[in-house]
Amino acid sequence: MRWLGITATLLVAGLAAAAPGCDDGGGTSVTEACGNGVDDDGDGATDCDDADCTGDPGCAAIVEDCGNGADDDGDGATDCDDADCAGDPGCAAGVEDCGNGADDDGDGATDCDDADCAGDPGCAPEVEDCGNGADDDGDGATDCDDADCAGDPVCVPAVERCRNGVDDDGDGATDCADDDCVGTADCVPPFEDCGNGVDDDGDALADCDDADCAADIACRTGCGDALDPFEPNDDVASATDSSAVGPGDVPIAVSGNADVFAIGVCRGGVLTVDVAFTHAAGDIDAELVAADGARLAGSWSGDDDEQVIWTSDRLGDVYLVVGMYSSEGCNDYRLATTLDDAGCIWHETACGDGIDDDGDGATDCADGADCSADAHCLPESDCLDGLDNDGDGATDCLDPGCRATSDCTASGNDGCAAPFVLPDDPRGTWFGDTTPLSGDERGACAGDGRDAVFQFTVTARGEFLADLEGSTFDTVLYLRAGDCASGAEVACNDDVSRGVVWSRVGGTLDPGTYYLFVDGFDAGAHGRYMLSVDFAITEVCDDGVDNDGDGFSDCADGDCRLDAACVESACGNGLDDDGDLLVDCDDIDCSVAAGCYPAACAEDSHEDNDSTAGALAIDSITQADVLAVTPSDDDFWSIDACAGAVVEVDARFRHADGDVDLYLQDASGGALAESNGAVDNEFLTWTASAAGTVYLRVDLYGTRDPCNVYRLAVRVDRSGCP
């Protein structure tokens, strides 16, 4: 045991001899102890100030606690006063409350005195009321003494009128004795003062003996038209040119005998008319009228003087009518007219906007002086090629230069013997007038007026649409196939919608010859018409070809939704014949099939969805739901769409039981798309430009049919959405 103890002692001693701080050469290397307050290694740095203590746990930096009231890191700054706390949430500057009487952010400024409150509504300065006797904005100046009231009508001083014998501005000086009148036409010598007993103008005649005073109220021995230097000027035909009335002229207004003055104006000019008189002597009114007597502007204040300011919408003469308000009486007045023509338009500025820009009575190309060389008025090089040849933004017959040509304006097409022939597969707009025509034909829906006949050929199966929007009378439009007089009627429409009297027809046409009739509702319905036609080749649904070039072929194309190759072939065999996972009557293709069509029409279980507010989500119904609509009870369905979504609505019904129409609209009722033909079924498609909810309105047109049933299939393709 003792031997073992000696061995242990020697080992410890050996380890001590090899420990740091010992030098075999006889010197001693001392290690700094980092927490004893002694410079152990004699390098002049004690404890944590010594570089040897870097990394020692006892020398780790102390972090300032920003909310304990102590200077944790010993840098002489406590909590939020320490720069280390600059980003601490507890030290963020307070937000000034602009109405609590406290300096919330501690910047020495309270509420509205703090710059942070400059835009706060509660700190907006009071506005000076210029007529209440109070210093509203607290700036020491009240009402008109406050600079804020400089332009207020209450504070604008009255203007001295220099020949009415009244101190108008209340400064104690009347007429020419007032400094305000010095240098005016009324007071420039020689000027006779008609009541001072002096021959002011040196013509040896004083006051009323001087002819200059003939019209002065103080010298008048009577009042009437005989004293008016501009009579007779009692109507438009005898109107006085206003430029002939000078500042010294004194016309006289007599009850029952108005004075009329012609004033030349330009479109865009600002006309100012001042009629100066003393109301106490009789109330005079001023009215500006057109040549036909239509009122343009006027002034009837019941006080001294009248002023009319009017911005002209025309080029030519307008007429000022000055008359007494009362049924008896007479009063003199002064007249001044000024036209500010800085904004006048002297020429037609745009020759294709449908506006008479210069107000000369000739619009666009009819204004030959201004528009004869304009691109809008030069004819297209080809009025039927679908191109804007002259680059004016208008194509073919919509170009004013083409409208009058035989390509675009139909004539002589009075009956089946001489139809106006349209291009094959027609697309475009044509013009005409049924007034000189006879009434030979009638459509099934209406058409007892005078009719124009058009003929065209369809070369391939396609979708046809024609309308008469822009026509000037109550139109009817109908289409026949094969033979003009006896061919089967394909479509007929009187009014496109309730209250809108132009017509539209459409549908799918097979190759062949067709006749389109523009007619009037009754014998008195005739005039100018505008016929717009569109035709697009549609998909052949079983040839494996994308015939219409829309990227979809055969049954994948929406155009084939009713094609025999793509619909349920039998509605009672228990099979999904068209592969759409809907069998027999549940498939919308079977809507009107025997055994699937209801025996009677009655209000459906989804009522009351009679308005946008009461609209039901389109997802709440399926193709199998049988719905009902009446003339006084439209159905509304809501559809959610994202920007770029394509909405397709397919409605199936029997037209013979009632004309069902579709209208897609926004929340405010604005039209987005519609389908309102006069045939079985309706279909519409629409692409959303923004995300939101749109509404499908299903309407039963007219009052002939009390109710009709329908079924809906709605598809929203969101593949194009962001």
DSSP letters of 218-244? Answer: TT-S--SGGG-TT-S--SGGGPEEGGG
Of the candidates 399, 438, 398, 401, the residue with the CA atom closest to the CA atom of residue 418 = 438
The residue that leads in pLDDT, 362 or 628, is 628
Of the candidates 506, 496, 498, 502, the residue with the CA atom closest to the CA atom of residue 525 = 502
| φ, ψ for residue 208, nearest 5 deg | -70, -10
Residue 162 to residue 178: CA distance in whole angstroms: 8
Helix (H) or strand (E) holding 371: helix 368-371
Range ranked top by mean pLDDT from 139-148, 166-175, 396-405, 507-516? 507-516
The residue that leads in pLDDT, 661 or 116, is 661
Q: Which residues make beta-bridge pairs with 319?
A: 262, 289
Are 331 and 282 within 8 A, CB to CB? yes
Q: Report pLDDT digits (tens) over 74-127.
A: 788 887 788 788 777 667 666 777 878 788 777 788 888 888 887 777 776 677
Residue 335 to residue 215: CA distance in whole angstroms: 14
Taken in order 395, 401, 407, 412, the sign of the CA dihedral is positive
Residue 552 to residue 685: CA distance in whole angstroms: 15
Helix (H) or strand (E) holding 678: none
Torsion angle of alpha carbons 542, 559, 539, 465, nearest 10°? 150
Q: What is the pLDDT of residue 454?
A: 97
Residue appearing with tokens 């020759």:
351
Are 663 and 696 within 8 A, CB to CB? yes
Helix (H) or strand (E) holding 336: strand 334-340
Tokens matching residue 475 = 């139109």
DSSP category for residue 44: S
The residue that leads in pLDDT, 311 or 130, is 311
Helix (H) or strand (E) holding 7: helix 2-18
Beta strands in 613-665 (DSSP E): 616-617, 627-629, 635-641, 646-652, 660-665
Q: What is the pLDDT of residue 19?
A: 39
| φ, ψ for residue 368, nearest 5 deg | -60, -35
Taken in order 590, 593, 596, 599, the sign of the CA dihedral is positive
Indicate the residue type of 239.
Answer: A
Q: What is the pLDDT of residue 189?
A: 60
Residue 53 to residue 32: CA distance in whole angstroms: 7
Residue 700 to residue 705: CA distance in whole angstroms: 8
Residue 287 to residue 322: CA distance in whole angstroms: 7
pLDDT confidence tier of residue 422, bands split at 50, 70 and 90: very high
Residue 19 to residue 29: CA distance in whole angstroms: 10
Indicate the residue type of 91.
Answer: C
Residue 626 to residue 64: CA distance in whole angstroms: 76
Q: Are strands 306-311 and 452-458 parallel, antiparallel or unpaired?
A: unpaired
Tokens matching residue 79 = 């909590």
Percent of the chain clearing pLDDT 90 (strictly above): 38
Average confidence (pLDDT) over 329-347 = 89
Range ranked top by mean pLDDT from 244-253, 361-370, 418-427? 418-427
Residue appearing with tokens 């034909």:
441
> Is the pLDDT confidence value at 72 over 70?
yes
Average confidence (pLDDT) over 358-384 = 77
Q: Find all residues with CB under 8 Å of 400, minimum gap 6, and list them.
A: 351, 352, 364, 365, 376, 377, 394
pLDDT confidence tier of residue 325, bands split at 50, 70 and 90: confident
The residue that leads in pLDDT, 404 or 518, is 518
DSSP category for residue 477: E
Residue appearing with tokens 């006069």:
678
Q: What is the pLDDT of residue 148?
A: 82
Residue 260 to residue 329: CA distance in whole angstroms: 18
> Is the pLDDT confidence value at 185 over 70?
no
Q: What is the pLDDT of residue 5?
A: 36
Residue 639, sorted as left (phi over 0), alpha (psi -120 to 50) or beta, turns out to be beta
Percent of the chain clearing pLDDT 70 (strictly above): 89
Residue 564 to residue 578: CA distance in whole angstroms: 10
> Is the pLDDT confidence value at 633 over 80?
yes
Range ranked top by mean pLDDT from 83-92, 175-184, 273-282, 706-715? 706-715
Tokens matching residue 260 = 């009329």
> Is the pLDDT confidence value at 436 over 60?
yes
Residue 307 to residue 159: CA distance in whole angstroms: 14
Residue 298 to residue 273: CA distance in whole angstroms: 10
Residue 679 to residue 692: CA distance in whole angstroms: 31
Q: Classify burial at 491, counting beta carbons within 10 Å of its beta carbon; exposed 0-12, middle 13-18, buried 19 or more.
A: buried
Are 346 and 312 within 8 A, CB to CB? no
Q: Report pLDDT digits (tens) over 220-247.
A: 556 788 888 899 999 999 999 999 998 8
> Is the pLDDT confidence value at 620 over 80?
yes
| φ, ψ for residue 211, nearest 5 deg | -60, -25
Q: Which residues make beta-bridge pairs with 630?
A: 633
Q: Report pLDDT digits (tens) over 568-581.
A: 788 989 988 877 78
Q: Report pLDDT digits (tens) over 392-420.
A: 777 888 877 787 788 889 989 999 999 99
